[in-house]
Amino acid sequence: MRRDVSFTINGAVHTVSVYPMERLLDVLRTKIGLTGTKEGCGEGECGSCSVLMNGELVNSCLVPVLQAEGSTLRTIEGLAGESGLHPVQQAFLKCGGAQCGICTPGMVMATVHLLNHNPKPTLEQIREGLGGNLCRCTGYTRIFDAVMEAAGTPK
Amino acid sequence: MRSRPSEYELVAPGKLAAVLDLLAKEPGVWLPIAGGTELMVQYGAGKLPARKLVSLWGLPELRHIESTAQELLIGAGCTYTDLRNHPVVAQEFPLLAQAASWTGSIANQNRGTLGGNIVNASPAADSLPALMVYEAELLLASARGTRRIPYVEFHTGYKQTKLAADEIISAIALQPRFADYHGYSRKVGTRNAQAIAKLCLAALGKTSNNKIEDVRLAIGSMAVTPVRLRRTEETLLDQPYSAALMSEARQAMESEVAPIDDIRSSALYRLHVAGNLLQEFIEGLFA
């Protein structure tokens, strides 16, 4: 049976009528219209669907929407502000940290999460922080360059 | 997505007592779901037989870590991130902290829970050998009350456990009495993040007068459940290091595991590498 579930997404309160086992990923994309969050594997392996839930990085394909009730969510659409791109997005742009773009929103969200917890990560810590995000184009080098650029420690 | 959300029920009573009442009223009908890192994968693949689920996520009664002089009580709803961030886990139970850091990815560690991992009962779960060598106890809660059992007795077969239909794991108890032990843990997998282990060994030991005074070994992905290697421990106990001892210990280990060929590895590789890990641990113990 459908029910109302409310949460705050990128600063705005939304209430949606959903089945409680709908995946947060699908609700974001089809009910809210935030299609920046991508589906890759649908089983928590690839990180394309990464969003922040109460500040913590989660795979939105593995979150039943009822478990997001009352939470504060941040998606890729919530990063850029009035003054332009988020510094992490700017760094990915500058360093060429994106090719086809499917993994990019997840990579950027994982980077934002990492830098929120650890503003000056080592390369090893960057590899761990982004270890759940798969990219089939770049070979990761330019993505790691972008994270270091965003952290203010360009190589 | 191969499931229809309209065919599933999910409720979140918000209080542990209410969850236990629901399980007591209709035992076996409601499947508890915590962080969803296992069940949501099955659901997405269209392979989740349960149609009624009850959420444990965010229950405050399950998400706390209490530290006393006697024991560390870890709420079953604590995530791997909670374990990695807790100073007493890092200090007193480094094998568990290390296993938590190997589990899945950061996003999975933010959602996956220790209780969920135990109930899921995968023989390949990274943290379970560590719980075995630390001789963890489980608190099993139901509307009937709470009982306490040694973790080593929990698994009864492949994905079979002693959990009754109206019970959940409420906490994991660990006694901080291994500070003077040499600890060893190693996961062998295809990569650090995400990979499910080909095998993983957790070990504790100490020596006196150049002999092994005490030793505990547990291994994952080598049988239908994680296994405490008691026969191997007995072989090693009170012995000085020698090549002959290592050979005997390897044989003892081979007698108490039953590895298989599967998508991740072969039985032969697993046996050989398990022996190598054992050797690495023992050499470190005498170093």
What does the pLDDT look like over B133-163, one tens digit per residue? 999 999 999 999 999 999 999 999 999 999 9
pLDDT in tens, A88-111: 999 999 999 999 999 999 999 999
**B105–A66 C-beta distance less than 8 A:** no
Amino acid at B77: G
**Taking CA atoms, what residue in B is nearest to A45?**
B194
E strands present in chain B: 9-11, 30-33, 52-55, 65-67, 72-75, 137-142, 145-150, 155-157, 160-161, 168-174, 182-188, 199-208, 211-220, 227-228
Q: What is the DSSP string of B49-84?
A: ---EEEE-TT-GGGS-EEE-SS-EEEETT-BHHHHH
A-chain CB neighbours of B81 within 8 Å are 56
**Burial class, B9, CB count within 10 angstroms (exposed 0-12 / middle 13-18 / buried 19+):** middle
Please give the Cα distance from B185 to B178 (Å, whole number).
14
pLDDT band at B194 (very low <50, low <70, confident <90, very high): confident
This model's pTM is above 0.90: yes
A-chain CB neighbours of B45 within 8 Å are 43
Nearby residues of A91 by Cβ (< 8 Å), 6 or more positions away: A97, A146, A147, A149, A150
Residue B66: predicted pLDDT: 97
Does B46 contact A at CB distance below 8 Å?
Answer: no
Q: What percent of chain B has pLDDT over 70?
A: 100
Radius of gyration of chain A (CA): 15
Does B6 contact A at CB distance below 8 Å?
Answer: yes
Cβ proximity of A32 and A78 under 8 Å: no
Residue B34: predicted pLDDT: 98
- Which tokens in the block code for residue B148? 């306490």
Calculate the alpha carbon distances from B20 to B13, B30, B76, B143 in Å. 10, 10, 14, 5
Residue B208: predicted pLDDT: 97
Q: What is the DSSP string of A80-143?
A: -BTTBS-HHHHHHHHHT--SSSSSHHHHHHHHHHHHHH-SS--HHHHHHHTTT---SSS-SHHH
Partners of residue B161 on adjacent β-strands: B155
Cβ proximity of A142 and A115 under 8 Å: no
Residue B195: predicted pLDDT: 87
- Which residue reads 């940290």 in tokens? A97
- Using beta carbons and an 8 Å cutoff, which residues of A are at the interface with B? 1, 18-23, 26, 42-45, 47, 50, 56-59, 61-64, 66-67, 69, 110, 113-114, 128-129, 131-133
pLDDT in tens, B203-242: 999 999 999 999 999 999 999 999 999 999 999 999 999 9
Shortest alpha-carbon distance between residue A129 and chain B (Å): 6
Best probe of the A interface among B105, B126, B194, by most A CBs < 10 A, is B105
What does the mean pLDDT of chain A come to? 97
**Burial class, A23, CB count within 10 angstroms (exposed 0-12 / middle 13-18 / buried 19+):** buried
**Taking CA atoms, what residue in B is nearest to A129?**
B106
**Taking CA atoms, what residue in B is nearest to A51?**
B107
The HSE-up count of residue B244 (CA atoms within 13 Å, CB side) is 2
pLDDT in tens, B75-131: 999 999 999 999 999 999 999 999 999 999 999 999 999 999 999 999 999 999 999
**A56–B110 C-beta distance less than 8 A:** yes
Chain centroid offset of residue B34 CA? 16
pLDDT (average), residues B57-81: 97
Q: Helix, strand or coil for residue A75?
A: coil
A-chain CB neighbours of B10 within 8 Å are 20-21, 64, 66
A-chain CB neighbours of B58 within 8 Å are 67
A-chain CB neighbours of B40 within 8 Å are 23, 44, 61-64
Nearest to A58 among B111, B192, B194 (CB): B111
- Which tokens in the block code for residue A152? 């203010």
**A1–B192 C-beta distance less than 8 A:** no
Cβ proximity of B278 and B201 under 8 Å: yes
Please give the Cα distance from A45 to B16 (Å, whole number).
30
Shortest alpha-carbon distance between residue B18 and chain A (Å): 17
Whether residue A6 has pLDDT greater than 90:
yes
* Among B residues 179-238, those touching chain A with beta carbons less than 8 Å apart: 192-194
**Taking CA atoms, what residue in A is nearest to B10?**
A20
pLDDT in tens, B125-136: 999 999 999 999
Please give the Cα distance from B37 to B167 (Å, whole number).
20
Q: What percent of chain B has pLDDT over 90?
A: 97
A:B CB pairs within 8 Å: 101
> CA dihedral in degrees (B263, B269, B270, B276; nearest 10)?
-150
Shortest alpha-carbon distance between residue A82 and chain B (Å): 29
Nearby residues of B23 by Cβ (< 8 Å), 6 or more positions away: B30, B32, B54, B142, B143, B165, B166, B167, B168
Please give the Cα distance from B249 to A116 (Å, whole number).
47
Nearest to B194 among A61, A64, A131 (CB): A131
Shortest alpha-carbon distance between residue A140 and chain B (Å): 15
pLDDT in tens, A42-85: 999 999 999 999 999 999 999 999 999 999 999 999 999 999 99
**B1–A44 C-beta distance less than 8 A:** no
Cβ proximity of B185 and B203 under 8 Å: yes
> In this predicted complex, what is the ipTM?
0.98
Calculate the alpha carbon distances from A122 to A128, A147, B277 in Å. 10, 10, 29
pLDDT band at B193 (very low <50, low <70, confident <90, very high): confident
Shortest alpha-carbon distance between residue A90 and chain B (Å): 23
Q: Helix, strand or coil for residue B198?
A: coil
Whether residue B192 has pLDDT greater than 80:
no
The HSE-up count of residue B36 (CA atoms within 13 Å, CB side) is 28
Q: What does DSSP assign to residue B196?
A: P
Residue A9: predicted pLDDT: 98
pLDDT in tens, A126-153: 999 999 999 999 999 999 999 999 999 9
pLDDT band at B257 (very low <50, low <70, confident <90, very high): very high
Residue A155: predicted pLDDT: 78
pLDDT band at B43 (very low <50, low <70, confident <90, very high): very high
Residue B223: predicted pLDDT: 95
